[in-house]
Structure 1
Amino acid sequence: MARAFDATAAAAAAFADDHELLAQSARNVFETLREQGRVVSPIVLLPALASKFGAIRGAADMVSGETRSQLLSIAARYAEYAGWMIQEAGDAPGALVLTERAANLARAAGDHTMAEYALLRRADIALYGHDARIVVAWAIRAESGVSPEVRLLAAQRAAQGWAVLGQRSRCLSALARAADETAAVEESTVDLGSSLGSRGGGRLMQIVRGWCYLDLGIPRKAVDALEIGMSLVPTDARRARALYGVRLALSHAVCGNVHHAYDAGMTALDEAAHVDSASVRHQLRLLAAAARGWPHDARLDQFRRRIDGELAAARRLS
């Protein structure tokens, strides 16, 4: 998938022109593409991301000084986001390729915040690759950075890694650091150009807490935290609502609240049908395993079929 991205980008680079206008418009286009990424399949977005990335990268090669640095910084954001979309399409190795490219571009531009965030993205990819030790290693490295926003996201990711490893005290310590960094981010006056990650980590503290509590074996606290967190997720953020909604359903299931799990899961499945997300499917597989032990009745059988159908659709597309 990274090769297809590169081919489209290379074709677009040949048409790079009007460098100042490109630099002015590229951030606005990026924000528009990120908004679309909340509600559509990553496959839909990747050609547009590749084309714009190629034009920006090509323009950067034609200029020098501040204009070049600005274009390289913008290109880094496109590469990082493309890596995320490639990950969501189910290609983790391709995601790592684009993430590494984003880090290199950011360093070349002198964009230390973006370079630090690209480090953190490796932890995100490892989280869904079932490698919690790698999650923790990259997250701790990113926590030493200068950006409060990156430190916040890194502490959250470290907490998730420690939770998977069953290290309760270390997980709770990381959650406490993340809460402290939330205040620093809210007070920061630094212009980062556009928010990193899922529209600001501070607003997701309850989601991250709930995610960790489930892995730590305290599902009732997970339900409470996730329900609060879900109330803060915008209704049009389908990708996020699908992912966190499945996690909430799984927490209910572990508690033995079958019908609450059904309700939360059906709502999440409605969102998942629009976004084609490998991260959501990762959680759906866990929910499917829990649902196999439920009683047989018409509603629950329908629920199991909905999960199987969502997972089967993804296999047909792969």
Structure 2
Amino acid sequence: MRSVPLVVGGGRAVGAADAIADLRVALGRRLADCRKAVGYSQEALAPLTGYARSTVANVEVGRQSVPRDFWERCDEVLGTGPELAAQYDELEQRVTAERAQAARAAQARRQDRIGQRKARDSKADDEARDEIGRRAVLAHGVTALGLPALTLDDLRHVAAALDDAHRYMDRTIVEHFTRQLETCAGQDGDNGPKSALPTVLGLIGAIESGVRKVKPAVRDELLAVGARCAEFAGWLYRDSGAIELGDYWRDRAMEWAQAGGDREMQGYVLLKKSQAAWDQRDAVRMLMLARAAEDRAWRLPARVRAEAAQQRARGHAMLGDSVDLVHRQLDKAHALLIGEAESTSTQVSPHYRSALLQIQTAMCYQVAGRPQEAASIYREHLTSASFSRRDYGYFASLGASASALANEPDDAARLAMTAHRIATATHSVRTANEVVRVVRQLDRWAARPAVRELRAVVLDY
């Protein structure tokens, strides 16, 4: 059965948590009422939603939270229009608001504790207490930054910067934040969003606090790192299945990039917004944002423009536009990537290479109704050595879909099983959603052993 996180994040006050739990119970009861009204049992409804019966049962009593696509399918199956999905949206908005309020309250409490600790410091033990204070400030502003990697001088410098940003927040701190962000990116690729998200949010908190007090000469550089952190947080939430939070952090990334005059990052965020639209299969939004990302005003490096071109190719393929138009965009992407030596930037899309473009080309063929060609490209270019573990799992799920559409059910089931294992290990809801799509595509081969095993693992049948 697909693993679904009940809530991303946490830390709400008990009263708020109880209120949200009541709303979740009410939504579950409404689902049960609608199900019974049309004569479905939980066992009958479950396969129509792509989820296990136990999930339906848990949702109906408010014990489990599921993504929006579950409610959309229930609306479709039960004939309730957008009612259930709309109530789910209201619930998620409340959860997001309560989470933000709880985070602000927790931050205020930490600030208060730090203030009280400093007030108790005496001149006789200033040096010892300062060290404790530095660690407390780091814990408050830069959660889980991996302090063992810092030298004592680094620790003192970062702590001083957080205490007195105007005086101490300099390029050394900016470089440190950049290194930490790169470390987080590596953790995400290996272990998924859950391992990287706390550190990234801590970085954002430290940057957001410091940018108001930092010297003007350093502010733009700090905003640039903040924009990268916010965009990365958007990606982590996207992979976690928290669509609204992903959108929120991409918007913050754009805001900081604009505030810092970082044109390159503004164009890059537009591309990332286009890519997020793929998860919803929103071809028109993909095209609009990819085209906007290609504007010369952003001064994007060749590899980013290559990625935008393939994004447009996929959008055109999804809309059923001419094959020639799709090929022109793909040819443009390949040409730009070959000529990427013109780019000097190391800040955006540093890992965009030929192997990824080949996989994205397969995705274009797949949505264009040419699954045999897509499956062939996946077989040739999809290797664990070419991608991070998390990315390999995601692309394996897409390769499985291509194989299913190409009438290769055993290959599809094998790839989907690999993707499912990686999705579970990395907590990638995005990959898990794609695996469920594959299971549905394999319905007509349900009697085949490999497909039957896949269904048993993914849907808990």
Superposition TM-score tier, normalisation by shorter sequence: 0.7 to 0.9
Selected match of 2:307 from 135, 153, 176? 153
Closer, same or farther: CA 217–307 of 1 in aligned 2, 3 Å: same
Cα deviations across residues 257-296 of structure 1 (Å, max 9, x unaligned)? 1222222222222222212223213321220111211041
Selected match of 2:330 from 168, 175, 198? 175
C-alpha displacement at 1:307, in angstroms?
2.4
C-alpha displacement at 1:188, in angstroms?
2.7
Selected match of 2:342 from 165, 174, 188? 188
C-alpha displacement at 1:124, in angstroms?
1.2
Identity, % of aligned positions: 24
Corresponding position: 1:206 with 2:361? no
Once the two structures are superposed, the pairs formed by residues 1-318 of structure 1 within 5 Å of their partners are 4=99, 8=103, 11=107, 12-13=140-141, 16-17=162-163, 18-20=168-170, 21-145=172-296, 146-147=299-300, 148-167=302-321, 168-185=323-340, 187-193=341-347, 195-196=348-349, 199-231=351-383, 234=386, 237-309=388-460
C-alpha displacement at 1:201, in angstroms?
4.8
Distance 1:202 1:75 in 2: 29
C-alpha displacement at 1:89, in angstroms?
1.4
- Count how many residue pairs are aligned between Structure 1 and Structure 2: 306
Closer, same or farther: CA 138–44 of 1 in aligned 2, 3 Å: same
**Alignment partner, residue 315 of structure 1:** none
| Structure 2 residue matching 1:130: 3-state secondary structure | coil
**Alignment partner, residue 20 of structure 2:** none
Distance 2:441 2:200 in 1: 37
Q: Quick check: 2:414–2:450 contact (8 Å CA) kept in 1? A: no
| Structure 2 residue matching 1:39: 3-state secondary structure | helix
Distance 2:292 2:343 in 1: 24
Which amino acid in 1 is paired with 2:317? A
Distance 2:102 2:269 in 1: 22
Unaligned 5+ residue runs, structure 2? 1-7, 9-95, 108-139, 143-158
C-alpha displacement at 1:191, in angstroms?
2.9
Which amino acid in 2 is paired with 1:19? M
* TM-score normalized with structure 1 length: 0.88
C-alpha displacement at 1:233, in angstroms?
5.0
* TM-score normalized with structure 2 length: 0.62
Which amino acid in 1 is paired with 2:303? E
Which amino acid in 1 is paired with 2:269? A
Distance 1:92 1:140 in 2: 22
Distance 2:103 2:185 in 1: 19
Computed over aligned residues only, the root mean square deviation of the Cα atoms, in angstroms, reads 2.4
Higher relative contact order (CA 8 A, sep 6+): 1
Cα deviations across residues 210-230 of structure 1 (Å, max 9, x unaligned)? 111111111111012122331
C-alpha displacement at 1:254, in angstroms?
1.3
Closer, same or farther: CA 189–169 of 1 in aligned 2, 3 Å: closer
| Structure 1 residue matching 2:202: 3-state secondary structure | helix
Which has the larger Rg? 2
| Larger deviation, residues 204-213 vs 148-157 | 148-157
**Alignment partner, residue 316 of structure 1:** none
Distance 1:6 1:127 in 2: 31
